[in-house]
Every structure is written in structure tokens, then in C-alpha cells.
Amino acid sequence: MTRTNVAARRTGTVIAFSLMLLGALTMVLPFLWMVTTSLKESRLVFTFPPEWIPDPIDWANYLEVWDVAPLAVGLLNSVIVTVLVVTVGTFSSTMAAFAFAKLDFPHKDRIFVALLATIMIPMVVLIIPQFLVFVQLGWIDTLLPLIVPGLLGNVTMIFFLRQYMLGLASELLEAAKLDGAGYLRIYWSIFLPLCKPAIAANVIIVFMATWNDYIGPLIFTNSPENSTVQLVIASMSSYYKDQTDYPMIMTASVIAVLPVILLFTLMQRYFVDSFAFSGIKG
Amino acid sequence: MPTTTARPTRRFNRRERIWGLAFVTPITLQVILFSLIPVGIAVYAGFTDWNSIRDTRDFVGLDNFVEFLTDKYFWIAAGNTLYMLIPIPFYLLFGILFALGSHRRTPGSTLFRVLFLLPYVSSVVALVVLWKWIFNYQYGLVNQALGAVGIQGPDWLGDPAWIKPTIVIMIIWKMIGITSIYMLAALKNIPDVYYEAARLDGASPVRMFFQITLPLLTPSIFFLTVVGMIGSLQTFVEVQLFTSDGGREYSAATITYYVWQKAFGSGELGLASAAAFFFALVVLALTLLQFRLSRRWVYEGE
């Protein structure tokens, strides 16, 4: 009885492991192909059967790609937008979350529900009028439409951060108030440090969304000086449609994808854990 | 005594009100400026012949609605939009499978989790560029592999019959990882006692899956179906990047693509706003319908 049980469990684990391995390969092989292609000389790209390890490994594309497309400008713009949105936006979001979770002020619940309701507005309805608003503000073809809204916070993140803060003891607030600490101080030195895991998750998700954004730059900017990295890659791809210089495009893609993958790998624990407190009942 | 305690409390309350309002001011401003005012403009624009090229902006009543509802391309786009729902059951199924595998604590499951999420965290632009290469008609990996076993692969990106399946495959591939993370979180929330009790009753693993695991996953499946549907119906970036004009015979264009093309291609801001507004109402109706249907199959607990 026990022996068959152990055997059955072991078979189960072997099946599960093989399944996972197969899945992981499906996820990773395309990325390996991206890297492999970026390390090939153009003339070796179309060999059959496909070469998974280029011979010779050719790093030249990583030097040349900067001259082929305005990649440096794109990266710089993406860094400016992402860094500003992630840092300032995190403060705006955590402050709002702190107020909604722990402070008392008029119409608190009504404001919160109204904010949440706006998440439901589909992007397709917003793109045209947002464009018109930015035209009025004179922000078209600048980075401002990509930066300013993000500086003010993110409703989805406020929702998650508020959930997290609701779980922190309110006695901390009362005790600090009795000690005469101001609200800014209470937020800064008590609640902010306690929220580190939730903030880490917030940082990854906002970083990803901002860095990877394509629709915003596509609609609100048009000159190459204001392109973000995603726009540069996209225009490279359509420009090279017939020339098929795949090594160069893959090189640019590797460079564009690397920052997100690095950050994600470093902080994946927070990313994964954030789903545990995201309020989904199981 | 009561007066001395009441005064500071009132003072704290006032400060708390001021700080509370101050803390939520940025996000409130953002929502007013970049969501609420735009929605107002969108509704207004939908009833005008707002055109950025002809420079018109007159009230035209329901003309826009008549125009897109009688436009052949709008209905092709509507069909393609529904097609984009196909990935959902597939990534739910694979997501659950991988979550179950992960939950067994197979060796290397943390590494697997990171690898599974690679497509999800990468930009759609990079994925599409990569996909164009892998699915290249002549030299792509996929057709070379098919060729090796004697099958002539299709022209994935050029053939109107294959462009949608290509996009669908990419979306499934991208979404499996994040689905399995959600499902894993849900699996971890199922108390072990349920399984212990079932085991004592001699239930088989298959029976336990269908009687315990699956019912308890239904709230997560429902959540992901609703979120997935709202997202899938708005598929745009893939279409815009894979095709230059919606694909041959408009074979890949979705409604969001139609709206984008009308607004920013031919400057018909009024028509595009009307179509977007109409579509948003359809999405809302479908979402409400799902909530209604959910009562029949989503486990709600005791």
C-alpha cells in the first residue's frame, strides 16, 4: 500500500517535472534564438539546419547597432520617462494609499470608489480624447504625456497598496500621533518602511508597464528625438521588413528587453508574492 | 478635563482631514485630467463630425453611429475582435497545468517560474519582432522545423487565413506564465485539511482534483476570464505591429485598430470616438453578462 503510494507520487513528480521542463523550453527557446541571432554574421542567419551556437560568435552587431538606428536616444528617453514615473509615481501612490487606508477625511470612500471605477474605462475610449487634451496643452511630440500622468500615481497600484496597508496595525498611527509626530512623518518613517514588499512589487509592475509602453509613444510623439526604445525597435522592424537584417533587429531587441528581464529576475519574489495579497480568493 | 481632551482631538481631526485630502490630491487630479475630462470629450466628439484634416467640428447627431454600423470594415473588425477571445481558454488550461506542476515543489520550480514569466515581462514590440523572425515564411525556425518533417509551413504573417492564428499563438505563449502565477497563489490558499480528509475517505487524485481543487479555483478562473476578456477585446498593439494596414483583406484588424486607424490615419476623430464609445458599452455589457452567468459556476464558499 505505502510502497505503491510512494511509487505513484514519484511518477507524479516525474510527469510534473517533464511537463514543467517542456513548458519552460517553449518559453525560453524563442529568447535563446533572439540572442543567438544577434550574435551571428548576417550571411550565416539563413543556414539550415539552424545553428543554435553561432560559429563564429560575432559581437560586432552590439557595436554597430548604435549607428544603424537612433537606439541611444530611444534608450535615454525611455530611461528618463521610466525613472521619473517609477520614483515620483511610487511616492504619489503610496501617499494616496496611506490616506485611503489609515486617515479620515471627508468623502474618503466616495473618492476611492470613483477612482477605482475609472480603471474600468477601456483604453480605446481614452486614446483619442487624451490626444486632444495633450494637443490643447501643447504637449504633443514631447515626453510630457508619457511622464506627467504617471507622476501623479497609479490607481491600480493604489488599490493594491491600500489593501496591504489595511493589514498593518492602526495602533501604530495612534501611538505616533500621541508622540506628536506629523502625518508626513508617520507616512515616511512608519508606513513606508513597513510596505517595502508591496512597494517592490509596485516598482516592478510600473517599471514594466512604462518601459514596455508602445501605444503612448506611438500616439503622442512623432519625431525621432522623442522616440522611446520601443518605437525605435518597431520602426527598425518595419524599415527592415524587406532587407531582413535580422541580426541587427535581434540585437536591438535584446538590448531593449534586458533592463526589464534583469530587474524582474532580481525582484521576482516580490512580483510573485504580490499576487498573494492581491485580494483574489482561492 | 473633557475640554482639554476634546480640543487636541479636534485639532488632530482637522490636520488629518487636510493631510488626507492633500495625499489623495495628485491621483484625483490625474483621474480628472486624464480620464474623466477625456471621457466627456469622447462622448461629445462622438456626436460631431470632428475631423482633424478637414477641420470640421459640427454636431451631427447619430450620423457617426450609422456610418460605422454600416461600414463593412467595422464588422470585419468586430469578427476579428471576437476571434481574439480564443487564447483565453488555452492559457487558462496551460496556466492551471503549470501551477499544479509548480505546486508539487518539483525540483527547480523557482527557476521555472522565472522562465515562464519571460514572455510576459518583455515588451510586445520585442515579442512581435522576434515572432516575425521565427515565423518567417522562408527562413523562420517554425517553417524550417515543419519542413524537416516534410510539411510546407504556411505564410504565417502574409496569408489572411494565418495571421490571426499567429497572433493567437503568441498571446497564449505570453499569457501562460502570469496565469500560472495567479493559479499558484490560489492553489496555495486551499487548506490542506480538505485533501487530508479526502485521502482518508480513499479519494483518488483525479477525484480530488475535480471535487476540491477545480471548484476552489473557479473564483480565480472567473477573475482571469473577466480581466482576460476585457484585455483581449482591446487587442491592438499586436495587430498594429504585425501588419501594416490591418492585414491583407483587413484580416487581422480589431475594433481598437479600426478606431486608431480612423482617428490617427484619416483624422475622423468624431467617427472614431463614436465607434470607441459604442464598443466600450458592448464590453461593459459582456462583462456584466459574465458576472450574471458566474453565479452558475463560480464557487462562493460557505
Domain residue limits, chain B: 2-69, 74-297
Q: Which residues of A touch B114 (CB under 8 A)?
A: 264-265, 268
Asked whether residue A45 falls in the same domain as residue A175, the answer is: no
Cβ-nearest to A153 among B30, B111, B141 = B30
pLDDT value for B120: 95
Asked whether residue A56 falls in the same domain as residue A70, the answer is: no
Calculate the CA B58 to chain-centre distance. Answer: 35
Cβ-nearest to B114 among A208, A211, A265 = A265
Cβ neighbours of residue B92 under 8 Å, at least 6 residues apart? B179, B221, B224, B225, B228
Mark out the alpha helices in A103-122 (DSSP H runs): 108-118
Confidence category of residue B15, pLDDT binned at 50, 70, 90: confident
- Distance of residue A222 Cα from the nearest chain B Cα, in angstroms: 12
Q: What is the CATH number of the domain that holds A192?
A: 1.10.3720.10
Q: Which residues of A touch B133 (CB under 8 A)?
A: 33-34, 37, 246, 249-250
A162-201 burial by CB neighbour count: b if 16+ within 10 A, else e? bbbbeebeeeebeebbeeebebeebbbebbbeebeebbbb
Residue A33 placed within a domain: yes
- Distance of residue B289 Cα from the nearest chain A Cα, in angstroms: 15
Number of other CB atoms surrounding residue A274 within 10 Å = 20
Count up the domains in chain A and report the number.
Answer: 2
Residue of A nearest to B235 (CA): A124
CA distances from B190 to A180, B101, B185, B194 (A): 44, 16, 9, 8
Residue A123 placed within a domain: yes
Cβ-nearest to A214 among B18, B123, B136 = B123
Which CATH architecture group holds B74-297?
A: Orthogonal Bundle (1.10)
Q: Does A181 touch chain B (CB under 8 A)?
A: no
Residue A207 placed within a domain: yes
Cβ neighbours of residue A43 under 8 Å, at least 6 residues apart? none
Write down how long chain B is: 302
Which of A25, A27, A263 is the best substitution to test chain B (most B C-beta atoms within 10 A)?
Answer: A27
Asked whether residue A251 falls in the same domain as residue A145, the answer is: yes
Is residue A13 scored above 50 in pLDDT?
A: yes
pLDDT mean over A249-254: 94
Residue A178 placed within a domain: yes
Asked whether residue A230 falls in the same domain as residue A244, the answer is: yes
Asked whether residue A265 falls in the same domain as residue A151, the answer is: yes
Lowest-pLDDT range of A241-245, B91-95, B272-276: A241-245
Asked whether residue A214 falls in the same domain as residue A230, the answer is: yes
Asked whether residue A120 falls in the same domain as residue A221, the answer is: yes
- Condensed to tens digits (0 to 9), the pLDDT of residues B147-178 reads 989 999 999 998 999 999 999 999 999 999 99
Q: Do A237 and B129 touch (CB under 8 A)?
A: yes
A57: alpha, beta or left, given left = phi > 0 and alpha = psi -120 to 50?
A: beta
Q: What is the average pLDDT value for chain A, to the nearest integer?
A: 89
pTM, to two decimals: 0.92
In the 8-state DSSP scheme, what is residue B262? Answer: I
- Condensed to tens digits (0 to 9), the pLDDT of residues A226-247 reads 999 999 999 988 765 555 688 9
Q: What is the average pLDDT value for chain B, to the nearest integer?
A: 91
Residue of A nearest to B262 (CA): A128
Asked whether residue A33 falls in the same domain as residue A158, the answer is: no
**Cα dihedral B214, B217, B219, B222 sign:** negative
Q: Does A209 touch chain B (CB under 8 A)?
A: no
Map residue A122 onto helix, strand or coil.
coil
Q: Among A61, A92, A107, give the residue marking a domain's end.
A: A61
- Distance of residue A90 Cα from the nearest chain B Cα, in angstroms: 11
Asked whether residue A129 falls in the same domain as residue A241, the answer is: yes
Question: Residues 74..113 of A with a Cβ closer than 8 Å to B: which?
Answer: 92-93, 95-96, 98-100, 103-106, 108, 111
Write a three-state SS string for B29-68.
Answer: HHHHHHHHHHHHHHHHHHCECCECCCCECCECCCHHHHHH
Q: Omega of the bond prior to B8 within 30 degrees of 0, cis?
A: no
Q: Which residues of A touch B97 (CB under 8 A)?
A: 19, 23
Q: Do B256 and A184 touch (CB under 8 A)?
A: no
Domain ranges, residue A23: 2-61
Residue of B nearest to A96 (CA): B24
Asked whether residue A95 falls in the same domain as residue A43, the answer is: no
**Cα dihedral A36, A39, A42, A48 sign:** negative
Write the ipTM: 0.91
Is residue A61 scored above 80 in pLDDT?
A: yes
Q: Which residues of B touch A31 (CB under 8 A)?
A: 118, 122, 130
pLDDT value for A17: 86
Residue A282 placed within a domain: no
Cell of residue A117, nine digits: 471605477
Asked whether residue A122 falls in the same domain as residue A80, the answer is: yes
Residue of B nearest to A10 (CA): B106
Top pLDDT among A110 and A275 is at A110
Q: Which residues of B touch A182 (CB under 8 A)?
A: 15, 19
Residue A95 placed within a domain: yes
Question: Residues 22..81 of A with a Cβ closer than 8 Å to B: which?
Answer: 23-24, 26-28, 30-31, 33-34, 37, 45-46, 48-50
Evaluate whether A40 touches A58 at the Cβ level (below 8 Å).
yes
Which secondary-structure segment (H or E) carries A224? Answer: none
- Condensed to tens digits (0 to 9), the pLDDT of residues A160-200 reads 999 999 988 888 888 888 888 889 999 999 999 999 999 99
B113-146 burial by CB neighbour count: b if 16+ within 10 A, else e? bbbbbbbbbbbbbbbbbbbbbbbbeebbbbbbee
Q: Among A61, A90, A106, give the residue marking a domain's end.
A: A61
pLDDT value for A282: 31
Q: Do A99 and B24 touch (CB under 8 A)?
A: yes
Percent of chain B with pLDDT over 90: 74
Q: Do A282 and B117 touch (CB under 8 A)?
A: no
Asked whether residue A219 falls in the same domain as residue A123, the answer is: yes
pLDDT value for A240: 57
Cβ-nearest to B27 among A96, A257, A282 = A96
Residue A281 placed within a domain: no
Residue A35 placed within a domain: yes
- Distance of residue B147 Cα from the nearest chain A Cα, in angstroms: 10
pLDDT value for B14: 86
Alpha carbon distance A258, A236 (integer Å): 18
Q: Among A11, A27, A61, give the residue marking a domain's end.
A: A61
Confidence category of residue B287, pLDDT binned at 50, 70, 90: very high
CA distances from B196 to A11, B103, B185 (A): 20, 16, 20
